[in-house]
């Protein structure tokens, strides 16, 4: 049967699938050509034509736009709702193509934006959240407001793989979340397929023969690998639309850490956390999720910007000795941790941080006079560290995501006799009067060396 003869069958099937997803009988489904890959995608529309527009971008998994089945009815009474099955997913064509965030952004521009011809609200989940970030950074004039929920793949690939490893362990104990049946495939793709691939990941993705050989030409595998290969450092900082990040507190696929760094790096962004929700809060907690979205669209949501503002550190001194899970917040002249496990520092402005034989997690915090750490593990999410250098390390490891480093010279001085490992995700190093240097890599600094 020819492609032309199949078209009515495609549309009939799409309408059957669209009706329950869009929550109304007059939902429209249309198979349209897209010029990026030269194939066709399914486009769905509901709500009053010409009303304020909301565009929905789904995540990994063959549900496609049906992932929005509980949000669309809440929107369609007032807003013109547009969704599509991204290439390779749902009812769209599935081929061996480079399904990257940048290419998906081009598809959205070609298929959706030109049909709306006016700015729209963009909402993306999981991979679709990351794609929405890429789109909003590339086409700022198109996006009037951005809502990102549980965006996956933003952390540096090795860091993300470690997080997924923990998720896989938790999954073995607790089972696959009912609203994320693709989790098994996703974890296997990134851990067993993506990580062992050659370092020249862009070459693997660019060549159809290698995509077929190493990723089986499978759209889910290709999209997952392209996602973790993408550096969002510029994208996050380049968004100009008012932005709300909505995150499930118990997300094991895109940890809340990702939501925090996204809200900190996108200028003026805010963060709303849904307790008890995992990776798909729009399916797991639809009433709470829908209320947040509607309040945001209608100007009722009152949440302050997430990123901590600069300010002078306080005069008090904080200390931890031989304790576990001690917490600090607020302003300090100095914090010292000795023999402590899982120290958590949140929303703090600190003059100097001294860490000995401890593990310390800093979230959305500033250190203005440097970190001195030995026999330590440091995990930083958002915030900044300044100093000359910002870090003096000895037998210590550093995992910094969405963090700004400010100095007149090197970022790290390794004063020990062994190499130290720096795991850097969407971070940046800034020197006076120089443009920022984006850091999205794993670096080993040799003994006695500076970096």
Q: Is the pLDDT assigned to residue 450 strictly greater than 80?
A: yes
pLDDT of residue 22: 55
Q: CA geometry: angle at 27 spanning 25 and 33, to 5°?
A: 150
Over residues 316-358, the pLDDT tens digits come to 999 999 999 999 999 999 999 999 999 999 999 999 999 999 9
Mean confidence (pLDDT) of the chain: 90
**DSSP code per residue over 355-401:** EES-EEEEES-EESS-EEEEEEEEEEESSEEESSSSEEEEEEEEEEE
Local structure of residue 52 (DSSP, 8 states): P
Long-range contacts, 282-287 (Cβ 8 Å, 24+): 282/67, 282/68, 282/70, 282/71, 282/125, 282/149, 283/67, 283/69, 283/70, 283/179, 284/177, 284/179, 284/248, 285/248, 286/70, 286/71
pLDDT of residue 441: 95
Among residues 72, 75, 139, 78, the alpha carbon closest in space to that of 105 is found at: 139
E-strand ranges in 102-191 read 120-125, 143-149
Q: How confident is the model at residue 13 (pLDDT cuts 50, 70, 90)?
A: very low
Q: Which residue has the higher pLDDT, 287 or 11?
A: 287
pLDDT of residue 25: 39
The answer to whether the beta carbons of residues 421 and 228 sit under 8 Å apart is no
Q: How many CB atoms lie within 10 A of CB 264?
A: 26
Q: How many CB atoms lie within 10 A of CB 192?
A: 10
Q: Dig out the tokens for 42 from the structure.
A: 């399914």
> What is the mean predicted confidence (pLDDT) over 152-171?
81
Among residues 119, 270, 321, the alpha carbon closest in space to that of 335 is found at: 321
Over residues 169-216, the pLDDT tens digits come to 666 545 555 555 555 555 555 555 544 554 567 788 888 898 998 888
Over residues 402-426, the pLDDT tens digits come to 999 999 999 999 999 999 999 999 9
Q: Is the dihedral of CA 278, 284, 290, 291 positive or negative?
A: negative
| Largest CA-CA distance found in the chain, in angstroms, rounded | 78
Q: Is the pLDDT assigned to residue 243 strictly greater than 90?
A: yes
Q: Is the pLDDT assigned to residue 388 strictly greater than 90?
A: yes
Q: What residues have CB less than 8 Å from 422, skipping those under 6 apart? A: 397, 398, 400, 412, 442, 443, 444, 445, 451
The answer to whether the beta carbons of residues 412 and 420 sit under 8 Å apart is yes
Q: Is the pLDDT assigned to residue 231 strictly greater than 50?
A: yes
State the DSSP H helix or E strand holding residue 354, giving kind and residue range, or none if neither.
strand 343-356
Q: Dig out the tokens for 138 from the structure.
A: 């590339």
Q: Which residue has the higher pLDDT, 404 or 163?
A: 404
CATH number of 3-157+217-297: 3.40.50.1820
Among residues 348, 349, 326, the alpha carbon closest in space to that of 338 is found at: 326
The answer to whether the beta carbons of residues 164 and 189 sit under 8 Å apart is no
The dihedral formed by the CA atoms of 55, 61, 66 and 70, expressed in degrees to the nearest 10: -90
Provide the residue ranges of all domains of the chain, joining segments of one domain with +: 3-157+217-297, 317-445
364 dihedral zone (left: phi>0; alpha: psi -120 to 50; beta) = left
Over residues 250-309, the pLDDT tens digits come to 998 899 999 999 999 999 999 999 999 999 999 999 999 999 999 999 999 999 999 999
Q: How confident is the model at residue 113 (pLDDT cuts 50, 70, 90)?
A: confident
pLDDT of residue 197: 52
- Looking at the DSSP bridge assignments, the partners of residue 443 are 422
Over residues 353-373, the pLDDT tens digits come to 999 999 999 999 999 999 999
Enter the pTM of the model: 0.91
């Amino acid at each position: 049967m020819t492609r032309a003869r199949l078209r009515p069958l495609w549309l009939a099937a799409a309408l059957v699938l669209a009706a329950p997803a869009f929550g109304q009988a007059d939902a429209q489904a249309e198979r349209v050509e897209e010029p990026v890959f030269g194939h066709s995608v399914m486009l769905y529309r509901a709500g009053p034509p010409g009303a304020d527009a909301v565009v929905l971008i789904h995540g990994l998994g063959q549900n496609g736009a049906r992932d929005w089945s509980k949000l669309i009815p809440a929107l369609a009474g007032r807003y013109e709702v547009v969704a599509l099955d991204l290439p390779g997913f749902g009812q769209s064509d599935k081929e061996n193509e480079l399904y990257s965030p940048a290419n998906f952004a081009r598809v959205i521009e070609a298929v959706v934006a030109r049909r709306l011809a006016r700015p729209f609200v963009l909402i993306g989940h999981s991979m679709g959240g990351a794609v929405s970030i890429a789109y909003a950074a590339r086409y700022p004039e198109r996006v009037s407001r951005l809502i990102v929920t549980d965006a996956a793949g933003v952390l540096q690939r090795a860091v993300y793989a470690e997080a997924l490893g923990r998720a896989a362990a938790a999954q073995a104990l607790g089972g696959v979340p009912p609203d994320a049946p693709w989790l098994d495939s996703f974890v296997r793709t990134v851990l067993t397929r993506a990580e062992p691939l050659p370092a020249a990941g862009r070459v693997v993705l660019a060549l159809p023969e290698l995509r077929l050989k190493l990723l089986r030409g499978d759209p889910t595998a290709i999209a997952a690998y392209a996602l973790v290969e993408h550096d969002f450092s510029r994208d996050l900082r380049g968004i100009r639309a008012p932005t709300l990040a909505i995150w499930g507190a118990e997300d094991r696929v895109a940890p809340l850490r990702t939501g925090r760094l996204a809200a900190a790096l996108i200028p003026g962004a805010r963060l709303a956390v849904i307790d008890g929700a995992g990776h798909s809060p729009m399916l797991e907690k639809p009433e709470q999720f829908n209320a947040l979205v509607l309040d945001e669209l209608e100007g009722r949501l009152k949440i302050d910007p997430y990123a901590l503002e600069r300010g002078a550190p306080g005069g008090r001194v904080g200390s931890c000795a031989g304790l576990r899970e001690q917490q600090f917040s607020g302003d300090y002249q100095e914090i010292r941790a000795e023999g402590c496990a899982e120290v958590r520092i949140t929303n703090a402005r600190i003059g100097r941080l001294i860490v000995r034989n401890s593990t310390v997690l800093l979230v959305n915090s500033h250190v203005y006079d440097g970190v001195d750490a030995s026999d330590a593990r440091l995990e930083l999410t958002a915030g900044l560290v300044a100093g000359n250098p910002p870090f003096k390390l000895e037998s210590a490891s550093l995992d910094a995501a969405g963090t700004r480093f400010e100095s007149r010279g090197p970022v790290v001085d390794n004063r020990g006799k062994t190499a130290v490992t720096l795991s850097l995700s969407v971070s940046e190093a800034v020197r006076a009067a120089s443009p920022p240097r984006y850091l999205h890599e794993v670096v080993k600094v040799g003994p006695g060396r500076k970096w």
